[in-house]
Structure 1
Amino acid sequence: MSGKFDAKAHVAHMEVVMGLTLEEDWRPVVEAHIAATQKAAELVLSFPIEEDIEAAPVFEA
């Protein structure tokens, strides 16, 4: 990813793109959740995996 992720800017942008109105009382909570989701995604994407690995079509216990 290029640049630093800005949760506040992302929430403001998606509010416009999706045509939503976010109550100001909820904005900090939504921004915190988006920031936490970005951190989780960063961990998943940083996991080393070989290029030739394919997802399993069926999972069995």
Structure 2
Amino acid sequence: MADHLDDYMNAVAGAMALPLEDAWRPAVRANLEVSLRLARLVDDFPLPDEIVSAAIYST
């Protein structure tokens, strides 16, 4: 997975014209790993078929 994250970091940095120094790569990779782990938890959470998304969000 690290190779995929390296490819992703390079692609995003290039697309956004952001410098990505070698010293930053471990921290960026760690952040991506945590973000992907959290996203997987949300994605894997079972919801019943009857659930309807909210049309209006308010605070």
Cα distance change of structure 1 residues 60 and 22 upon mapping to structure 2, 3 Å threshold: closer
State the shift of 1:21 in Å: 4.5
> Cα RMSD (Å) of the superposition?
1.9
Percent of matched pairs sharing the same residue: 31
Report runs of 4+ in structure 1 exceeding 3 Å deviation.
Answer: none
Aligned length: 54
Tell whether the 8 Å contact from 1:11 to 1:30 is kept in structure 2 after alignment: no
Which deviates more from structure 2 when the two are superposed, residues 43-52 or residues 18-27? 18-27
Structure 2: gaps (5+ residues)? none
Q: TM-score, normalised by structure 2?
A: 0.69
Higher RCO, Cα 8 Å, sep 6+: 1
Runs (5+) with no aligned partner, structure 1: 1-5
1:13 aligns with 2:7: yes
Structure with greater proportional helix content:
2
When the two structures are superposed, what TM-score results if normalisation uses the length of structure 1? 0.68
Tell me the CA shift for residue 23 of structure 1: 1.0
